Amino acid sequence: SRRRHTRSSLVSWARRCVQETGYQRRVHGIYQTKEQKMVLMNVLSNCLKAIVNAERAGKRQVLLRPVNKIVIKFLRIMQKKKFVGEFEIVDDRRGKKIVLDLLGRLNKCGVYSPRFDITIKGMDRIMDYVLPSRQIGYIVLTTTYGILDHEEAVKKQTGGKILGFFYQSITPFNAQFHTKKKKKKKKK
């Protein structure tokens, strides 16, 4: 005699199959799937997007997590160029966190992916492509001397792989801080 399967026994069988294999099965019109977790693809990209979003929202601080050594070195370069303020690293024994003070100077920062190789001769072409102007922003590279911005890389005569960029463009809103005011002559 053939054993008859009830609907509940088939559903429980489908759930066991999903737990073991991890993919979807259809049993009597019922789809059973294993819960999928999102995977973090690029830590540096997520941190820089969080910084830009907080800067546009007018926040004074932003919490970045998770953090790795590349993010910390990237932030140190931004701090040295006075685009961001102080930051504190909080070790939570998982992926670390950073509490970053914002200064309101940053308009855009991002990751350049894939990480192309850049020579000293090709640095000008990349700067023209990525930055709005030669005087306004910085490109961050990973070189044999460590993580540097493009000016330091040119001084050390080295190329490398491009990590990302950051800049402050001069718009009518912040142009008043970059122009020298003419002094009015006082009439006697």
159: pLDDT strictly greater than 70? yes
Q: What is the pLDDT of residue 1?
A: 47
Within a 10 A sphere around the Cβ of 62, how many other Cβ atoms?
Answer: 20
171: pLDDT strictly greater than 90? no
% of the chain at pLDDT higher than 90:
57
Local confidence band at 92 (pLDDT 50, 70, 90 cut-offs): confident
The pTM of this model reads 0.72
Q: What is the pLDDT of residue 43?
A: 94
178: pLDDT strictly greater than 80? no
Task: Look at 13 and 168; give whichever has higher pLDDT.
Answer: 168
Task: Look at 87 and 180; give whichever has higher pLDDT.
Answer: 87
Q: Are 106 and 126 in contact (CB under 8 A)?
A: no
Q: What is the pLDDT of residue 94?
A: 85
Q: What is the pLDDT of residue 6?
A: 61
